[in-house]
């Protein structure tokens, strides 16, 4: 989660810098090397954020699957114990 926060913080810094240079003439603003580098950096950060979000959902899915398996095992054991207790 902190990785996503760091990425979002970096994205907001780049966006604020881009908004400052937006008001400048194109050749020294967004069209300049610095502007293009910032745009590229923003695209990379967006790609990185998407990758982190996908990894987070993958981990969450795996953990939910593990919890479900554990719960199923617990319920099976409980049912067996009840059958044993009722049988004797």
Of the candidates 38, 54, 40, which has an alpha carbon nearest to the alpha carbon of residue 29? 38
pTM of model > 0.75: no
Distance, in Å, from the CA atom of 42 to the CA atom of 59, rounded to the nearest integer, reads 26
pLDDT the model gives residue 88: 58
Q: Is the pLDDT of residue 53 over 80?
A: yes
For residues 25 and 65, which has the higher predicted lDDT (pLDDT)? 65
Indicate if the alpha-carbon torsion angle 21, 27, 30, 33 is positive or negative.
Answer: negative
Distance, in Å, from the CA atom of 82 to the CA atom of 30, rounded to the nearest integer, reads 71
Taking residue 22's Cβ as centre, other Cβ atoms within 10 Å add up to 11
């Amino acid at each position: 989660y902190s990785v996503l926060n760091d990425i979002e913080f970096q994205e907001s810094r780049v966006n604020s810098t881009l908004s400052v240079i937006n008001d400048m003439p194109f050749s020294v603003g967004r069209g300049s090397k610095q502007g293009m580098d910032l745009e590229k950096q923003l695209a990379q950060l967006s790609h990185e954020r998407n990758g982190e979000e996908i990894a987070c959902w993958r981990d969450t899915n795996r953990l939910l699957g593990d919890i479900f398996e554990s719960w199923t095992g617990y319920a099976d054991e409980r049912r067996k114990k009840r059958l044993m207790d009722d049988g004797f």
